[in-house]
């Protein structure tokens, strides 16, 4: 089963690579190079998480702890760097982050199939919302908070995620309607997590949280959707009884 799923991941990466080529072929070399770096690093991250789940799931739990710890550090570091501005906003952000992080850590000890399915939904949504947004996105959703997000990207990411889960439905113990609700909830939480992370950066007037990951704006920039989507999955286990 893992071999089939990994084949699907590789097929999606090939499609993603074609999409990135179409997006970057007419761009300046330095911009294209940055985009390809981001794509390559993302490939490494996806492989690391995939094999941590399928080979030794406890490793994924420790990676979750690492993501939460570094994300918390980035939030506090930015607050301190901006000389403790907007303290009420910072406190509220930290509370939301702790709640979502607790959900992620609970999720990281869930059944392997549920972790793998959620991870795949998040990865597919994250990748193809970016690609479809750059190829077809015209109308921005919230330009003052996250200027790169478009309705075309959001809808494209959701549609491809919904199509993909039916290829992966053997990983899910519930019914098809439950799978549909689980997927919609996962992508909504992922999108919301991404928006909240962007809002925090806009509030403190920075482009990136850090330069810890090449081509990405920090751990939170890369893992915000995993934190929020994982929290939803931990919650959904109880409300959907799966």
- Distance CA(143)–CA(198), nearest Å, equals 11
Q: CB count, 10 Å around CB of 105?
A: 18
Cα–Cα distance list, 139 to 27, 50, 90, 207 (Å): 21, 33, 30, 22
Place of tokens 């997590």: 193
Task: Report which of 143, 154, 236, 137 is spatially closest to residue 191, judged by C-alpha positions.
Answer: 154
Q: What is the Rg, in whole angstroms, of the alpha carbon atoms belonging to the chain?
A: 17
Cα–Cα distance list, 65 to 40, 43, 71, 185, 229 (Å): 24, 21, 10, 23, 15
How confident is the prediction along the chain (242 residues), in pLDDT tens digits per residue?
A: 777 788 888 888 888 888 778 878 888 888 778 778 888 888 899 999 999 999 888 999 999 999 999 999 999 999 999 999 999 999 999 999 999 999 999 999 999 999 999 999 999 999 889 888 888 888 999 988 888 899 999 999 999 999 999 889 999 988 999 999 999 999 999 999 999 999 999 999 998 898 888 777 888 989 999 999 999 999 999 888 88
Taking only the tens place, the pLDDT of each residue in 128-184 is: 898 888 888 889 999 888 888 999 999 999 999 999 998 899 999 889 999 999 999
Helices (H), 108-218: 112-136, 151-167, 176-203
Q: Copy the structure tokens of residue 42.
A: 């993302």
CA 138 centroid distance within chain: 22
Domain spans of the chain?
2-239
Bridge partners for 140 per DSSP: 150
Place of tokens 């053997």: 170
Q: How are the residues of the chain apportioned to helix, strand and coil, as percentages rounded to the nearest 5?
A: 80, 0, 20
Q: Copy the structure tokens of residue 157.
A: 């990411």
CA 103 centroid distance within chain: 15
Mean residue pLDDT across the chain: 91
């Amino acid at each position: 089963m893992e071999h089939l799923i990994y084949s699907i991941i590789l097929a999606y990466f090939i499609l993603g690579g074609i999409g990135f080529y179409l997006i970057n072929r007419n761009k300046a070399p330095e911009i294209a190079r940055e985009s390809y770096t981001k794509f390559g690093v993302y490939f490494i991250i996806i492989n690391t998480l995939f094999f941590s789940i399928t080979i030794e799931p406890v490793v994924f739990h420790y990676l979750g702890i690492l993501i939460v710890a570094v994300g918390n550090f980035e939030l506090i570091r930015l607050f301190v760097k901006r000389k403790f501005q907007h303290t009420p906003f910072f406190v509220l952000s930290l509370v939301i982050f702790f709640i979502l992080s607790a959900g992620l850590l609970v999720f990281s000890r869930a059944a392997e199939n549920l972790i793998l399915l959620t991870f795949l939904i998040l990865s597919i949504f994250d990748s193809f919302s970016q690609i479809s947004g750059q190829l077809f996105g015209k109308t921005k959703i919230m330009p003052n908070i996250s200027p790169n997000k478009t309705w075309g990207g959001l809808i494209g990411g959701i549609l491809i995620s919904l199509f993909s889960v039916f290829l992966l439905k053997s990983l899910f113990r519930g019914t098809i309607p439950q799978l549909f609700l689980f997927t919609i909830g996962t992508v909504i939480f992922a999108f919301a997590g991404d928006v909240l992370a962007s809002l925090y950066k806009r509030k403190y007037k920075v482009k990136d949280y850090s330069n810890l990951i090449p081509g990405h704006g920090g751990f939170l920039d890369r893992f915000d959707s995993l934190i929020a989507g994982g929290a939803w999955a931990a919650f959904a286990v109880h409300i959907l009884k799966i």
